[in-house]
Structure formats: structure tokens, C-alpha cells
Chain A
């Protein structure tokens, strides 16, 4: 080959390499942009759900309305509503009063009630009560309101001191029909219970199956069939697992509907193939020389596997567990089939209580017409992502801790 021809070839080769690098960079940039856009959009929409507005209302605690011996029994909401209307004496028509009431949350009197129960000496005095505003008023003060008539709200702003607080309700309340009261605690607890069941079942089963298939099972047609089926199961749409759960756990075994127990069982089936495949890959990646060395000094097969191969495969197995857990956390479709999609206001107390999970809660809220639920939906996504990050972080920490060189 002549020199110039060779030069041309060289130039072509370098150009090809540069092109390939450029494609890679473009792909990376595009991905980052999409991801960033998604995150920014969610945070922009979700942050208002983390704050709420209160009004500092002067309330006279009339001893005739509150029994000193039993302050918890009094109707504080009525007291607050009276005081609220007294602030606007000119608004006396039925519609005006209705509109006025609609600015207060149903739970507006909760702080006052707690205040009085903690300190019954307040009865008979006039106190500044911290009352929660309703969703409509809250949105107005956040600047998100789409109301056309804001005269009353503007008046409220002038007349009564409005304060802004972090909305712990988002994390401590159960679900509610009122946007300002709806919280994620039920969904978070439901998710944790469900994933706990899924992992408690899926991890030991998956790892045991992987160890058996990889280290003990004879290579024959049966194990081949099983292997192919496990790989296929990993690709089965998740809704099918939901149908299986519905038919088997609910209809055949008569387990409770909407329960984290059943959800966990279904998710365990769902993540089992993922865990098995990842664990088998991790076990296969351990150099065979390590096992041979153990066998060579007279370890039994089981000792060689459990003393040497398994500890070395553990980081990889943990990775599989992370993947499985992340999948279980984000799964919605199969849980719809077993009834975890209901409106459930109570926080589940046990594995058999009716519950919902975070992704289903997001789905439910995203469907609601109230404006307040839009930011709640985005906030719920933020909470879900944060929990996933936390759990993954823990798993990665554990993996790093167990990781060893060989």
C-alpha cells in the first residue's frame, strides 16, 4: 500500500472514532436534558404541596361552649367558624357566609383544640388561634388560584394575618378528599409493608433458587427448561402477575382484598426472576479457581459455596436485590388488579389492613379534578423518588461494604 493511501485510511479511522464519540456525547446530553426537564418540572409543580397557609384568628373561648372537665368534647370547629364570621360582620347573606366558610379547612380547629386540651386555663380567655385555611384560600396565597372572584380573599389578606408553614401533613396524614388535608402516610406505610413482604419472600427464595441452579443443579433438559422460563418470566408484563394474584391469592386462597400481604406476594413473584437472574450472574462471576481451592483443601461442595463463592457474589446479589426492590416500589399495574387502588383514608396498621401504595396514590391523585391535587401529585412523586434514592443509597453502601477484591 502506498503511503498516501495509508494516510487516507488512517484519517478515516480517526474520523470514525471522533464520530462515534460525538454520538455518545449527544446521547448523554439529550438524556441529561430530558432528565433535568423532568426533575425541574416535578419540583416546580410539587413544591407548593410542601407548604400550607394558616390564619391567625382571634377566638374567644367561652366557658359555656367548652366544658372545663372535658375540654376534648367541645365543638371547636363551630367556635372557630363563629369567630371567623365575626371578623366579617358585614357578610351576612347565606351565599356570603357559605363562601366565607369555604375558606376554612375542615381541620381548621385542630390546633386550637390541642392548645386548649394542653392548657385548659385558656378557657374563658381570648386567644390567637392558628387555623388551617382551605385548599381554595391556600392556592390563592400560593399564587396558584384560578378563581375569578378574589375580592373576599384580598380582604382576608388585609384583615387577618396569614402565615406560611411547612406542611408536615403531607407526610403525617392519610389520604383525604380535601386537598389541604390529604397526606401520604397511608401510602408510604402501605408501600413499606408491601415491599417488606415482597423482599422477605423474594430475596431468600430468589437467592436460594440462584444458588441451587448455579451451583448444585445438574445440567439437563429440566434445568434448561427452568432457566428459559425464568428468563421469560422476567419479561412478562406486570399486569399478568396482578391477574395471577387476583385469581390465586384472592379468589382461590380467599386472602383479604387490598392488603399489603397480597400486594407483597404478587410483587415477590414479579421480582423473583430479576433477583434470580442477577444473583446467578453474580455467582457465575466468582472465579472458579476460588471454589476449586476450597474443594482442594477438602471443603464439601456446600462449604465451598457458602464459605467462599457466596460471600464473593454478595455485592452482585445485592445489586439484584436493589433492582428488584426499585421495581417493586414503582409497580402499579398488578396492585390495581388486587384492589390496592381504593380510596383509603386510614393508615394501615398491619399486613392485612386495606392499604394503597405510593405509585397507586400518585395515580389516584393525578385523576382528581381539584387543583390542589396537582401539586400533591408532583409532591408524591418527589417523595417516591426520595425514598427510592434513600433505599438505593443504603443498598449501595452495603454493597460497597461487602465488596472485596480477588
Chain B
């Protein structure tokens, strides 16, 4: 892993990085919204099978970078990116990359639970169906069931799979969205403040779930809650004004931050 000048690696970081292969690797990424320079010269390596948390004050660019990983920013008019974001060594911004295929490898969970206004089954089955992952109805049933199980929702909804997904509670809806993301077999799951609309109990369930999912996926989570970052992540990245200030092991980051800005932020002096 190369060490950027703006990036001070805490001691725990290299250890975690060394144990795991790099899944996402960004080099000299700049993102612009029209005139606004939202991400400045960002370089980062994100390992597989770990939870990386992005923290930072509002407007620091953490969500922008998250959405660059599955090219969700493509849908925003006037949004431009320079540099390279590699997933498993391949630059996802090359012209020959199919964005639809990319998003089947990089799932996303949004801030507000956004199940489709369809049945629970249809919510989970939609992705596999459009990607042709299921050869038969039984196949599809299997995918839906296993996805719901991985998302820890199956026991609660198994008797009402064909009722509307919007009738679930907020936490259940968010787990349904996670199941929907898992159903297309992604390697990476992006979570954009997944618990900000949930109560503490639902949040705890989602956090447990994230911890289980990390065994199999590369998870990136944007959060405003430093406690949450500390609870669920192994690595933490601190963003400030569009730059990546510090990226390293979560424990070290919260106990012995290397950068003054990081320290100010986590001690609550700004943000």
C-alpha cells in the first residue's frame, strides 16, 4: 500500500491491511459537481472482508466518494471524476466497463430504507431476476430465502413474503434493503448512513448484521456516529473538506489520532 502525504497510517492499519487482499483501490481521484471540487486527490486502499467506516463532518465528501465506488454519481448531471477507482485491479471508470454489471458486484444500502412498493419477495427477487441469476422458480425461492436469512430477516417475515415490503418497520425495511443488495451476490456492500433513520434497537440489529456480513464481503459504511464507526468497523477513514485526512485501524484512530483535524473532530471540537 502506498502512503500518501495527506494520509498518516496508524499502526493497526497496516496489520489489518496485510492480512487481507485489497478489494477497492482509488488513485488520485478528483470529483467535481459542476464547479464544485468535492473530492481532492484522494487515494485509498480498502481491504476485503472488513468493515471500513468513512467519517467526517457534513459535506466532507465521504458520501460522494462512496457513490463513486458503484458509479452512482453517474446519475447526477454535471458530476465528473478524474483518476482511477480500481476494483480487483480493474479501473471501473474505463469506457468498456458496464455500469450495470458493476452494480451487480457492488451493492448499496441507502440512508433512508427504500424498499420497492412491492411484496417482500419481489423486493429481494428483483435483482436476481433482472440479472438472470435464477434458472427456475425454485432457484429464485432459494436465493430469496438465503438472502433474507443472511440479512437476519427471514424468521420475521417468512409467513408474509407476499405482503408489501413497505408495511415493515423501519429497521426491518433496512434489513430488507440489505437482503435485496445481497441477493445479487455482490463482493462489496456500500452503506450510506444505513442507521440514521432508525431507533437504537433497530440500529443495534443492523450493526450486528454488518459484523456478520464482514466475514464474506468488503463493506464500506458512511456514518455520522463515531460510536457506530468504533463499534462496527476495523478501519476508519476521516474525510475533511474533500480530502482524506487519515485512514487506519479504528482502534488507533479513536485513541491516538495522528492528525490534529482528526483529533479535533473525534473530540467534538468541530463538525
Contacts and interface: CB of A to CB of B under 8 A. Distances in A.
Interface of A: 218-219, 287, 289-290, 292-301, 303, 307-308, 312, 404-406
Contacts of B164: 405
Interface stretch (B103-111, B210-218, B220-228): B103-111
A44 B247 CA distance: 83
Contact of A405 (B75, B112, B117): B117
Given A218-B77, A303-B130, A298 B116 contact: no
Interface of B: 70, 72, 75, 77, 100-104, 107-110, 112, 114-117, 126-127, 130-131, 164, 166, 177, 180-181, 183-184
Contact of B110 (A289, A301, A405, A406): A289
B103 A297 contact: yes
B130 A293 contact: no
Contacts of B112: 289
Contacts of A406: 117, 166
A299 B117 contact: no
B117 A296 contact: no
B116 A296 contact: no
Given A292-B110, A406-B166, A297 B127 contact: yes
A218 B117 CA distance: 28
A401 to B, nearest CB: 15
Most buried by A among B101, B103, B109, B112: B103
A111 B153 CA distance: 75
Contact of A296 (B77, B101, B108, B131): B108
Most buried by A among B108, B117, B127, B164: B117
A20 to B, nearest CB: 36
B120 to A, nearest CB: 14
Contacts of A295: 72, 75, 103
Nearest to A293: B114
Nearest to B78: A219
Given A295-B72, A296-B70, A297-B103, A405 B166 contact: yes
B180 A293 contact: yes
16 contacts: A289-B110, A290-B116, A292-B114, A293-B114, A293-B116, A293-B177, A293-B180, A296-B103, A297-B103, A297-B126, A297-B181, A298-B100, A298-B103, A312-B117, A404-B117, A405-B166
Contacts of B104: 297-298
B177 A299 contact: no
B75 A296 contact: no
Nearest to A219: B77
Given A308-B116, A312-B117, A296 B110 contact: yes
Contacts of A301: 75
A292 B72 contact: yes
Nearest to B167: A405
A315 B172 CA distance: 28
A292 to B, nearest CB: 6
B58 to A, nearest CB: 19
B135 to A, nearest CB: 18
Most buried by B among A289, A298, A406: A298
Most buried by A among B101, B110, B114, B177: B114
A173 to B, nearest CB: 50
Nearest to B124: A297
B260 to A, nearest CB: 36
A307 B117 contact: no
Contacts of B114: 287, 289-290, 292-293
Contact of A298 (B75, B77, B101): B101
Nearest to B190: A296
B180 A297 contact: yes
Given A292-B108, A297-B107, A404-B117, 8 more contacts: A289-B110, A290-B114, A295-B103, A296-B108, A297-B103, A298-B103, A298-B184, A405-B164
Given A292-B72, A292-B114, A405-B117, A307 B126 contact: yes
A153 B130 CA distance: 79
A308 B180 CA distance: 15
Contacts of B101: 298
A292 B180 CA distance: 13
Given A293-B110, A406-B117, A298 B72 contact: no
A406 B70 CA distance: 25
